[in-house]
Structure 1
Amino acid sequence: MSNNMSDHTLPSDSPAAAPSRRRTVLRRLPVVGGAAAGAVLLLAGPAFAHVTIQPGQAAKGDYATVDFKVPNERDDASTVKLEVDLPADHPLASAMPQPVPGWDVKVTKSKLDKPIESHGEKLTEAVTRITWTGGKIEPGQFQQFPVSIGALPEDADQLVFKALQTYDNKEVVRWIEPAKEGAPEPENPAPVLKLVDAGAAEQGGSSGGTDTAGAKDAESGADAGKSSTTAAADSTDNTARVLGVIGIVVGVIGVGFGLFAGRRRTA
């Protein structure tokens, strides 16, 4: 009896066992590829997840055009509202949003506890909140909201802009947590604009976000072209990231097929 059973048992390296091994490898490949893709996308996710201000720095005492970049984090809801609070500790004399197709914008001004001076005039009120409504950011998409701001303070190293992102399912994500030096990044960090000396901003090139034309160009809305260039650069950056993720996943699957082919040759 034992001899008959051993006669029907195929050695693992026999030609007859090769189809079984191939089926096992093929069943495992989607699992390996899927796990690798999930891990890569999980690691890449945070780069797209936060509401941010771009460029991330500008020159002290100057005017700048910045974009509030808002990605949709949800798979089953669309972003329908964005509210941005301007820093109350450093009021800005000018804050002018650029029109965004499909979106309505509301600029809210408030009286200042302490007047600020701009172009030789004392201002008793300043823009404290900008609200965009009426549009929609679908799942898997992002939108940029350009604003010309200034003059930027000379006695600060950064400006914090708190933002509220509202979805059409009534969920509100509050991007209001300040980042602390040496501490892990908060779950919902507030957008931060770093302020640097004018020389450092020029050396940084386009990343400085400085409107070198000055206050009168900002007041006349001459920053629209810069915003379009920034949007194109951000879009290219996002595309490169996505293609990088796809390349890694394809590479993992290719390694799996390579192992499979190697086993066939040894069989």
Structure 2
Amino acid sequence: MRSLPARRLATTTAVLLAAGTVLATAGPALAHVTVQPGTAQQGGYTAVSFRVPDESDTASTTKVEVNFPTDHPVASVSTQPLPGWTATVEKSKLATPIKTDDGDSITDAVSKITWTADATGKIGPGQFQEFKVSLGPLPTDTDQLVFKALQTKDDGTVVRWIDEAKDGQPEPQHPTPVLKLTKAGAAASPAADNHQMTASQDSSKSAAASSASSDSTARTLGVVGIVVGVIGAALGVAGLRRKGASS
């Protein structure tokens, strides 16, 4: 039969092991490939960064491939030069051409961008890099763009960031980068309007109260000044009478 201290030691050990397991599995989940910022406006142009961390303890990242959605293509895509990296842009023919505002048709669009590092550009363990892209106009027929990505390490490992998150389910181990799209010219919510009105009313009330307080203070000081003046005059008259009586 185990003693009470032995049971406590066994329980504590089990708790520590469980906590270690949770931390071990949660660690890699913090090193996702993401789009920054995560939201943009439908129909507009924007600049985003694909943020790529290296979650390995020993291997460095040497190549990053980002696939662009062809079901919701973007007509104009350009990369920002990044020292130590070379960007290669691939285009694909579109099943349905994109109509521009000028009436022209775009028959192909960017389908993938591959960044390859030279000897100075690797993303080392515990580091991250941002790959900046300008794109637009953003589609208006969807609320998100999905960019499936592949991350290659110098030890031959390939991390596939292609798993799409689903409502009501745990986040996948390697979620795909997603850019959320919002409606253009979205009006402020009634709650926001009410909040602004309340803030304005509170500000007006505060200003009125401050003004009333200032007026009250001024009146009080005026009355005090009159009283002091009357007392001074009375003392002056009394002094003159005393002086006349003594002479």
**TMscore range, shorter length:** 0.5 to 0.7
* SS, match of residue 30 in structure 2: helix
Shift of 1:109: 0.9
| Distance change in 2, residues 1:105/1:194 (3 Å) | same
* SS, match of residue 122 in structure 2: strand
| Distance change in 2, residues 1:188/1:43 (3 Å) | closer
Matched with 1:130 is 113
- Which stretches of structure 1, 4 residues or more, deviate above 6 A after TM superposition? 37-41
Shift of 1:45: 3.0
Shift of 1:43: 8.1
2:35 aligned to which of 53, 62, 65:
53
Q: 1:152, 1:202 → 2: CA distance?
A: 22
Q: TM-score, normalised by structure 1?
A: 0.59
Aligned-residue CA RMSD (Å): 2.6
Residue 156 of structure 1 pairs with residue 138 of structure 2: no
> Could you list the per-position Cα deviations for residues 199-220 of structure 1 after superposition, in whole angstroms to 9, with x for gaps in the alignment?
45999xxxxxxxxxxxxxxxxx
Shift of 1:114: 1.1
Residue 97 of structure 1 pairs with residue 79 of structure 2: yes
Amino acid at match of 1:68: F
Residue 65 of structure 1 pairs with residue 51 of structure 2: no
Q: 1:127, 1:115 → 2: CA distance?
A: 13
1:114 aligned to which of 70, 85, 96:
96
For structure 1, the 5+ residue unaligned runs are: 1-30, 204-267
Percent of residue pairs identical: 60
| Distance change in 2, residues 1:173/1:43 (3 Å) | closer
> Could you list the per-position Cα deviations for residues 97-128 of structure 1 after superposition, in whole angstroms to 9, with x for gaps in the alignment?
11111100001111111111123220011110
Shift of 1:197: 1.4
Contact 2:28 2:55 in 1 (8 A): no
Amino acid at match of 2:116: T
Matched with 1:265 is none
Contact 1:58 1:201 in 2 (8 A): no
> Could you list the per-position Cα deviations for residues 146-193 of structure 1 after superposition, in whole angstroms to 9, with x for gaps in the alignment?
101111111101110000000001111110111111111111110000
Residue 183 of structure 1 pairs with residue 169 of structure 2: yes
Q: TM-score, normalised by structure 2?
A: 0.63
Contact 2:29 2:173 in 1 (8 A): no
